[in-house]
Structure 1
Amino acid sequence: MLYGLYLNKEVLRVGAVFAFGFIRAIRFLEKHWSLLSRDIRTGSLNPVVTDPSVKESVMKMLKPDPNLVDYIELKCSKKSWQGIITRLWPNTKYVDVIVIGSMAQYIPILDYYSNGLPLVYTMYASFECYFGVNLNPLCSPNVKPGEEYELVVTTYADLYRCRVGHFLKVVGFKNKAPQFSFICRKNVALSMDSDKTDEVELHKAVENAVNHLVPFSAPDLTFGLTR
């Protein structure tokens, strides 16, 4: 975070693997930007950083920059943090985060902080592994556009034809490789009494609840599902 502020003109993209992790980072910055500004103003590290290797690495680059601190303070001290990403990092082209499935609930918050920058997820992965992208597969993929399929993966880490529970819809082809959109995860449901609500319906319900609560300045409402 400190390097990102110090080299703010060189930052071309921001992000994290999952949307909620990136939002946590922005909210951390919202609470502690004054401490980071102090480090840049003085060219020194806060005493809370005690790891010698980290201190040595940072101090090789960090030099006092009062003008940059004045710029950061001007942007961060405003009451509204709408568009803070493009204000602090003016050369940022997109936000690199996963926003499919339950992560889609964070899209409005990301749009708020980024002034509507494109949300791009450059990877498709799960907690089990990253799923490779091969634009010229050796074997002809036996899938049809418009159909839905469950993903099965084999990895070097001892997963063999593992059903990870992701359902995908084939939307077209790039060269010989199928292009797809993520639909949902299998067996992910909220169980209340005798009623079960799947991930898609729960997302819609939370989204509708948020829209109803907006006029009352209610805090952000989000949810997370685990298997």
Structure 2
Amino acid sequence: MKAIQFQCCSPDEVIFGPDFHQSLYCHLLCGLLFREEIQFVFSTFAHSIVLAFRTFEQVWQELCDDIRDGELSSRVTAPSVRMAMSKLLKPSPELADLIYKKCSGLSNWYGLIPELFPNAKYIYGIMTGSMEPYLKKLRHYAGELPLMSADYGTSEGWIAANVNPKLPPELATFAVLPNIGYFEFIPLNNDAERLYMDPKPVGLTEVKIGEDYEIIVTTFAGTRIFPF
């Protein structure tokens, strides 16, 4: 991650922690501790970012207490995580007061992300398809920060890259990356006469502009999947 300049503010013990909720709490805490150094907010899927800041709404005062006292909340019980966080967490009443003031001054949490991370330039993740319903809430948290939906992928593998990630996610156009798997496309036809026909998949070079397709991905491991 350092080699590609994609460093996370959380230590490995938090990233690979045994409990999701404890790790999320510590991710939020680490973000506050390194707030001046955060350059972008990232998660693979948009719903994870929304979940993180919904959680922040519930625990922000507890996070401020941790920073003010320099002691990690008792909600975090994993020994490896507590040990790693103890190396980062020192009493900082000034930072705690600053975060408390910023959160108290927000109107319904609008613009929360740039208030917490003043040097953040954008928010990054998969925001199309099944992630699109989360855009409204994500924009609420983001304020004026741009949303970048640079990838199109699934949990089994990546499929395509956004040819112009500066455009809003709703206007994303993706180019398939043919060297990361074998791709087939099932034509989607609304013609009632052909509704019950079994359409045959076509290759990447056989797709037609303006037509709709369901993608089939065969990974290098030989797994054939139908992403949604």
Q: TM-score range by the shorter chain?
A: 0.5 to 0.7
Indicate if the aligned counterparts of 1:17 and 1:97 stay in contact, CA closer than 8 A: yes
2:149 and 2:61 map into 1 onto residues whose CA distance is 31
Match of 1:112 in 2: 140
Match of 2:110 in 1: 82
C-alpha distance 24-87 of structure 1, shift in aligned 2 (>3 A) = same
Match of 1:215 in 2: none
Instruction: Give the CA RMSD over aligned residues.
Output: 2.7
TM-score scaled by structure 1? 0.63
**Of 33, 42, 59, which aligns to 2:86?**
59
**Of 114, 124, 128, which aligns to 2:156?**
128
Q: Which runs of 5+ in 1 are unaligned?
A: 166-184, 186-227
Secondary structure in 1 aligned to 2:133?
helix
The amino acid across from 2:100 in the alignment is: E
**Of 21, 42, 45, which aligns to 1:15?**
42
Is 1:47–2:111 an aligned residue pair? no
Give 1:97 shift: 2.4
Give 1:141 shift: 5.2
Pairing of 1:90-169 with structure 2 (within 5 A): 90-131=118-159, 142=205, 143=207, 145-160=209-224, 162=225, 164=226
The amino acid across from 2:101 in the alignment is: L
**Of 53, 57, 60, which aligns to 1:26?**
53
TM-score scaled by structure 2? 0.63
Identity of aligned residues (%): 40
Q: Which runs of 5+ in 2 are unaligned?
A: 1-27, 162-175, 183-202
1:93 and 1:87 map into 2 onto residues whose CA distance is 12
2:47 and 2:159 map into 1 onto residues whose CA distance is 21
2:45 and 2:57 map into 1 onto residues whose CA distance is 19
The amino acid across from 2:59 in the alignment is: H
C-alpha distance 116-157 of structure 1, shift in aligned 2 (>3 A) = farther
Indicate if the aligned counterparts of 1:30 and 1:76 stay in contact, CA closer than 8 A: no
1:73-117 alpha-carbon deviations (Å, 9 max, x no partner): 001123511101111101111111222123222222211111132
